[in-house]
Amino acid sequence: MTSSARAIIDLDVTGHTINRHIYGHFAEHLGRCIYDGFWVGEDSPIPNERGIRLDIVEALRALDIPNLRWPGGCFADTYHWRDGIGPREDRPQIANTNWGDVVENNHFGTHEFMDLCDMLGADAYVNGNVGSGTVQEMSEWVEYLTRGDDSPMARLRRQNGRDEPWRVPFWGIGNEAWGCGGNMSAEYYAEEARRYATFCHNHGDNRLTRIAAGAHEDDLDWTRVLMKTLTECHGCTLYGNLPYQAVSFHYYTHSGSGINTEDALPFSDDQYYRTMAYAADMDRVIRGHIAVMDSYDPTGRVGLVCDEWGTWWNVEEGTNPGFLFQQNTVRDALVAGIHFDIFHRYERLTMANIAQTVNVLQAMVLTDGDRMVLTPTYHVFEMNKGHQDARRLVSHLVEAPSTTVEGTPLDLVSLSASTKDDSALISVSHLSADADCTVTVDLRGRRADVRRARVLTGGSAADFNDVDAPDRVSPQPLEARVEDGILTVVVPPHSFSTIELDLV
């Protein structure tokens, strides 16, 4: 069975620059993301540098990951940064009450995180503690990290072996304040966010983007309160500086029955299409938040950040329920493909972070002892990395096969495109569970030749990679041609493809 889809792309009409930070990542003290993930310790037989696992670093470097959020998540609002500095053997143990109630030795702390960011070439996004912390504690953490002179915190950092301040561009003011971050009302939290953010200073030439903990999915009222409190603050209007520069929201994908209720695999076609529909609904959610933000901030000074997104399935059998370890299939990869097409549309969306990078939820890599597997989602990040900092090209999908999920139509083709340095990149997610699709794209405005085309799929949408078959789902060459300005590709069912073009 073959269907057909048709699109138009104007190669000479460029839109906004796609912010590379929408390809951001998230590493929480949760399950095996940090401990037994990124961090194996200096004495481990697993190859590491200063305790950080090298195969993971190498794999992630190939993704050009722009930023990494840490230490949570829910964990952030229980984390006291002073527990994680100084000689490792002197650091106190702590209980991770959110995730598995396990005891941690704090061997991975501020210095180790900043070291990891350096190794990855990623910007640091540090998430501070509002729920169980103090304004002073957060303020001093910023000072410890970013101040260069002889201030008390700069001196403490030097005593712990780091002379130069670090650059920290992103700072989270608590997390999910409506839930694990303190069960606060929007009004109460917004006031707190304003107060905490005021004391997160810009030291030297470090400039923080302070991110207020935002809404659950489409809770637009939470965003409304954050925006109102931010823009109506007396000092803010008087001096024109905003205490926080971005508001976040979180959006997890499942197949309609809630997070943590269905297995990563197997799944029925019905569950598959519901998942695709849930992922596609991200567009409505972002538009909603932006509409609210526009009404308070028409000039777009405040960014929207989706600092947790991805699929959330039941944990794999036999694993700790608090560790959120799940398998990652072609279905998950398509969720990522759909999300990126949506993210590329919105200039106000300045950052997004997939949850989470290693061994947790929709991970890039899964480890098993000293072995490591790249997931299908990893490959989407790799195939799409050319969109980072490229200019968006508006793509018009003029004809596509579709289905209906709970009465709502769902296009079975999703695509986006961008251009950079006389090249263009087109991403195509094809969602049909069983049919091929001939996709033709009318490329207008410039002449284009195919440089490379690749496709990611599996024998079924439930295919995944494991240590026995690490490349079962991996990018393969895709036949693509441009004739008389028309690009033609035949994409298989449940597939993600990228077509790279030379523009002449």
Q: Is 176 in the site for ligand AHR (CB under 6 A)?
A: yes
* Min CB(52)–ligand AHR separation in Å: 21
Q: Which residue is catalytic, options 112, 176, 262, 382? A: 176
Give the integer Cα–Cα distance in Å for 466 and 380.
17
* Min CB(350)–ligand AHR separation in Å: 19
Q: Three-state DSSP class for 31? A: coil
Number of CB atoms found within 10 A of residue 46's CB: 16
Asked if residue 225 lies in contact with residue 178, where contact means CB atoms within 8 angstroms, the answer is no
How many binding residues for ligand AHR (CB under 6 A)?
10
- Which parts of 327-416 fold into alpha helices (H)? 330-343, 376-383
Give the integer Cα–Cα distance in Å for 344 and 388.
9
Give the integer Cα–Cα distance in Å for 309 and 315.
17
Kindly tell me which of 211 and 424 has the beta carbon lying closer to ligand AHR: 211
| Catalytic status, residue 176 | yes
Among 192, 308, 332, 463, binds ligand AHR (CB under 6 A): 308
Kindly tell me which of 206 and 357 has the beta carbon lying closer to ligand AHR: 357
Q: Is 28 in the site for ligand AHR (CB under 6 A)?
A: yes
* Min CB(71)–ligand AHR separation in Å: 10
Considering only residues 264 through 283, tell me which ones interact with ligand AHR, judged by CB under 6 A.
none
| Catalytic status, residue 316 | no
* Min CB(355)–ligand AHR separation in Å: 4
Kindly tell me which of 28 and 143 has the beta carbon lying closer to ligand AHR: 28
Closest alpha carbon to 340 in 394, 280, 298, 400: 280
Q: Is 104 in the site for ligand AHR (CB under 6 A)?
A: no
Considering only residues 352 through 371, tell me which ones interact with ligand AHR, judged by CB under 6 A.
355-356, 361
Kindly tell me which of 154 and 180 has the beta carbon lying closer to ligand AHR: 180
- Within 224-340, strands assigned E span 246-253, 303-311
Q: How many helices (H) and strands (E) does the chain have?
A: 11, 26
Q: Is 212 in the site for ligand AHR (CB under 6 A)?
A: no
Kindly tell me which of 178 and 296 has the beta carbon lying closer to ligand AHR: 178
Considering only residues 32 through 91, tell me which ones interact with ligand AHR, judged by CB under 6 A.
72-74
Q: Is 175 in the site for ligand AHR (CB under 6 A)?
A: yes
Q: Which residue is catalytic, options 28, 112, 140, 308? A: 308
Q: Is 388 in the site for ligand AHR (CB under 6 A)?
A: no
Residue nearest to ligand AHR (CB): 73
* Min CB(99)–ligand AHR separation in Å: 7
Helix (H) / strand (E) containing 116: helix 110-120
Asked if residue 310 lies in contact with residue 361, where contact means CB atoms within 8 angstroms, the answer is yes
- Within 93-241, strands assigned E span 94-96, 102-104, 123-128, 170-173, 209-216
Number of CB atoms found within 10 A of residue 224's CB: 18
Asked if residue 350 lies in contact with residue 246, where contact means CB atoms within 8 angstroms, the answer is yes
Kindly tell me which of 128 and 165 has the beta carbon lying closer to ligand AHR: 128
Give the integer Cα–Cα distance in Å for 60 and 65.
7
Number of CB atoms found within 10 A of residue 157's CB: 24
Asked if residue 383 lies in contact with residue 398, where contact means CB atoms within 8 angstroms, the answer is no
* Site residues, ligand AHR (CB under 6 A): 28, 72-74, 175-176, 308, 355-356, 361
Q: Which residues are catalytic?
A: 176, 308
